[in-house]
Amino acid sequence: MITLYHHPRTRSSRFIFLLEELDAPYEIRPVTVRKRDGSGEVDPANPHPHGKVPAISDDGIIVFESSAVALYLTDRFPKNALGPQVGERDRGGYLSWLAYYSGVLEPAFVSKFLNVQVPRGTAGWVEVKEAMPAVIQQLARGPYFLGERFSALDVLYGTTFAMFGQSPLMEKSPLIEAYAQRVLGRPAFQRAQARDEG
Ligand SMILES: N[C@@H](CCC(=O)N[C@@H](CS)C(=O)NCC(=O)O)C(=O)O
């Protein structure tokens, strides 16, 4: 049984979506988190080292950080083929774009949000205006990140674009908008929405 440490309408919400897609046995453990407005506290029950969400426990095996949780879950519950397994051709791309999500795309968005210039050639990430064309090039093979195959990458990227698509952080792109709608239109997303508030 997977325990998802979760706070509504945060980065852990999309893991309800992923767990629904995987058809995995899970329970939601609501936790408090620190908020930007100064409210909220780290919840001592949350095993993430900084009290962030998501984190999961798989009968006592703890996994935290979104890309690691996505990879762990798709390896652990391969039935619905949401992540290419070791030996499959798409595995390399899958790992690369999972790492890219946490190591490049999120820092790019956060840098832009904070109005911080990304230092040329020294930061581990790039500006949003350089990252998005790479993502769009990959998605042009569509309909999903790995072409015909829906995967956990789409849970991460699709929900992110659905959130930022309406903000000044991202230039409008019909391809990205259509992609985000495709991901949000999945029945598992609707089921996850219904469970988000606990
Ligand atoms: N790098 C983490 C980021 C997780 C994260 O920052 N989650 C936010 C909610 S969206 C959180 O828990 N914030 C509370 C805090 O920073 O203490 C991941 O990708 O899983």
pLDDT in tens, 29-50: 999 999 999 999 999 999 999 9
pLDDT of the residue at 182: 97
pLDDT in tens, 158-185: 999 999 887 889 999 999 999 999 999 9
Q: Quote the percentage of the chain above a pLDDT of 70.
A: 100
| Average pLDDT for 142-171 | 94
Could you tell me the end-to-end alpha-carbon distance of the chain, in angstroms, rounded to an integer?
Answer: 17
**Which domains are present in the chain?**
2-82+188-196 (3.40.30.10), 91-186 (1.20.1050)
pLDDT in tens, 5-26: 999 999 999 999 999 999 999 9
By most ligand atoms within 8 Å of CB, the mutation choice from 5, 9, 33 for ligand 1 is: 33
pLDDT of the residue at 142: 87
Give, in degrees to the nearest 5, the angle at Cα 88 between 90 and 59. 100
Exposure class string for 92-130: b at 16+ Cβ within 10 A, else e? ebbeebbebbbebbbbbbebbeeeeebeeeeeebbebee
pLDDT of the residue at 134: 97
What is the H or E stretch that residue 26 is in?
strand 26-30
By most ligand atoms within 8 Å of CB, the mutation choice from 11, 34, 43 for ligand 1 is: 11
CA 177 – CA 166 distance, rounded (Å): 9
pLDDT in tens, 65-110: 999 999 999 999 999 999 999 999 999 999 999 999 999 999 999 9
* 3-state DSSP assignment of residue 158: helix
pLDDT of the residue at 154: 98
Residues with CB under 6 A from ligand 1: 10-11, 33-34, 50-54, 65-66, 102
* CA nearest to 45, candidates 35, 58, 37, 55: 55
